[in-house]
C-alpha cells in the first residue's frame, strides 16, 4: 500500500504561524500534528516562509528524535524497555506485540494502521511492564491483556 497522499492545501494556515527561524520547531510540530509526520514536500515551503534553506529545516528534523520523516500508523504502540519493565517481563511484552502486529521495532504496517516503537523509559515504573497506545498507558501487561488491548484498536480500524 502506498503512503497516503499529502494535501498541501492544509499547509498555508500552518505556515502563517511562522515568521523567523526561531519559529521553526513550533512550525514543524504543527506540520507533524496535521500530517502525522513532516512530509518532504513541506520542507521548501517551510524554508521559504522562514527565509532559511530547506537543508536547515531538514537538519533540525534530523537532529530531534520527536520529528518523523515517514508516515506513521494511525495507532502508535510504544513498549517500554526500561529497567523496571525489563525486570518484570518487558521483553516478553515486546515479543507478544511484535507477534500480534507482525512488526519489528520502528516499523509501520502496510495499511498504516499501526506503528511499533520502543523507548528507554516511559516513567510509569510502578505499573511495569508498560505499553502505550496513542498516549493511553496500559500497565501490568501480560499476553492476554496485550491481545485484548490491541484487538480493540484493530476493530476500530475495521469501521
pLDDT digits (tens, 9 = 90+) for 117-135: 999 999 999 999 999 999 9
Tell me which architecture the domain covering 75-157 has in CATH: 3-Layer(aba) Sandwich (3.40)
Assigned C-alpha cell, 149: 488491548
Q: CB under 8 Å to 43, separation ≥6 — which residues?
A: 54, 57, 58
Low-confidence ranges of the chain (pLDDT < 70): 1-4, 158-159
The residues of the chain that CATH labels 3.40.30.10 are 75-157
Cα dist. 4→1, 18, 48, 82, 117 in Å? 9, 26, 25, 33, 21
Pairwise CA distance, residues 85 & 123, whole Å? 10
Per-residue model confidence (pLDDT) at position 156? 85
pTM of the shown model: 0.82
Amino acid at each position: 500500500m502506498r503512503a497516503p497522499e499529502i494535501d498541501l492545501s492544509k499547509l498555508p494556515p500552518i505556515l502563517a504561524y511562522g515568521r523567523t527561524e526561531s519559529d521553526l520547531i513550533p512550525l514543524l510540530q504543527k506540520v507533524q500534528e496535521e500530517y502525522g509526520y513532516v512530509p518532504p514536500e513541506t520542507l521548501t515551503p517551510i524554508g521559504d516562509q522562514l527565509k532559511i534553506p530547506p537543508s536547515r529545516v531538514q537538519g533540525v528534523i534530523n537532529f530531534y528524535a520527536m520529528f518523523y520523516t515517514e508516515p506513521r500508523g494511525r495507532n502508535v504502540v510504544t513498549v517500554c524497555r526500561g529497567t523496571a519493565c525489563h525486570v518484570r517481563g518487558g521483553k516478553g511484552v515486546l515479543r507478544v506485540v511484535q507477534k500480534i502486529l507482525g512488526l519489528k521495532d520502528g516499523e509501520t504496517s502496510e495499511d498504516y494502521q499501526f506503528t511499533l516503537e520502543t523507548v528507554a523509559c516511559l516513567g510509569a515504573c510502578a505499573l511495569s511492564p508498560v505499553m502505550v497506545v496513542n498516549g493511553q498507558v496500559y500497565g501490568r501487561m501480560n499476553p492476554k491483556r496485550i491481545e485484548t488491548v490491541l484487538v480493540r484498536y484493530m476493530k476500530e480500524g475495521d469501521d
